[in-house]
Amino acid sequence: MRVGFVGLGVMGRPMALNLARAGTPLVVGNRTPERCAPLRDAGAEVAASPAEVFERADTVLLMLTDEAAVDAVLGRGTPGFAARVAGRTVVHMGTTSAEYSAALEKDVRAAGGAYAEAPVSGSRVPAEEGRLVAMLAGDDSVLADLRPLLAPMCRESFDCGPVPGALLMKLAVNLFLITQVTGLTEAFHFADRHGLDRARFLDVLDAGPLASSVSRMKAPKLLARDFAVQAAATDVLKNNRLIAEAARAAGVASPLLDVCHALFEETVAGGHGGEDMVAVLRALEARTDAAPEPGDGDRARRASMGG
């Protein structure tokens, strides 16, 4: 079975490299052709266009930015869509709304193709190390073929029922991730502005029950003010919006997420969308720096009363 992979971004390129290095017969495509060079060096074939990827592959993995990118790669809404997906399995690995994925499954099936969701949990480093966690949704026969294909990229995979169960599961996982990292960053900011030894704070955190693989990945970045991207703030904001929309549609309260949503909007608006999600520290710092000095409110009230 020849496998196609489209979308060689921060996550997609290391994922595809792990497939190629595992000996998977792979054909890749990307809107930025130079991103294909490491894949060619690893033994993958490089297609000139997404259409060519589909022509040469039986199963095509899509790790794309958003719904518009998926539609463009598939030629959805054009006469070429049916010819592109008929007789092939389309695997949606990016993060979109659950409603979009459910509609896409219907269109792919109507055109004579098969469809599965396989979003992954993890950022750039787990992607490089083949330690992602996959969430799967689709027909059992499709998933049976998909599981071994994902093994070089994912240390574990979980069945989540029919489409769009995997994407809903991914949104639930991301809700925890976003609030967890924002909480860690706010605690770090609190310690910093109280004059505590920031490294000692992180040592205490790491020694206790709150330590996690996430805190151990993000804490050194906070300490060093290292905003090199693992999971970009822009992508976190996109995920935040998707989760918020899903929550509203189901009438589910999400107060912590709503606070994070505002902070990541401020982070991106401040020009830091291409930085790692710990750049939410910049939004927290901006809020603190803009706040009145302690006692200013009392002085203002006295002045207004002629005191």
Give me the pLDDT at residue 296, please.
61
Q: What is the largest CA-CA distance in the chain?
A: 83
Give me the pLDDT at residue 306, please.
52
For residues 138-161, one letter each, b for 16 or more C-beta atoms within 10 angstroms of the residue's C-beta and e for the rest, the string is beeebbeebeebbbbbbeebeebe
HEC sequence for 66-123: CHHHHHHHHCCCCCHHHHHHCCCEEEECCCCCHHHHHHHHHHHHHCCCEEEECCEECC
Region 156-175 average pLDDT: 98
Each residue's pLDDT tens digit, 11-30: 999 999 999 999 999 999 98
Residue 298 pLDDT grade (very low, low, confident, very high; cuts 50, 70, 90) = low
Residue 89, beta-bridge partner list: 59, 114
Q: Which residues contact 62 (CB under 8 A, 6 or more apart)?
A: 6, 7, 70, 73, 74, 90, 91, 92, 93, 94
Each residue's pLDDT tens digit, 102-161: 999 999 999 999 999 999 999 889 999 999 999 999 999 999 999 999 999 999 999 999
Region 168-174 average pLDDT: 97
Region 289-299 average pLDDT: 74
Give me the pLDDT at residue 305, please.
52
Q: Does residue 266 have a pLDDT over 90? A: yes
Q: Does residue 216 have a pLDDT over 80? A: yes
The dihedrals phi and psi of 113, each to the nearest 5 degrees, come to -110, 175
Calculate what percentage of the chain has a pLDDT beyond 90: 88
Give me the pLDDT at residue 33, please.
82
CA 297, 298, 302, 307 dihedral sign is negative
For the beta carbon of residue 84, count every other beta carbon within 10 angstroms. 22
| pTM for the structure as a whole | 0.91
Query: If you average pLDDT over every residue of the chain, what do you get?
Result: 94
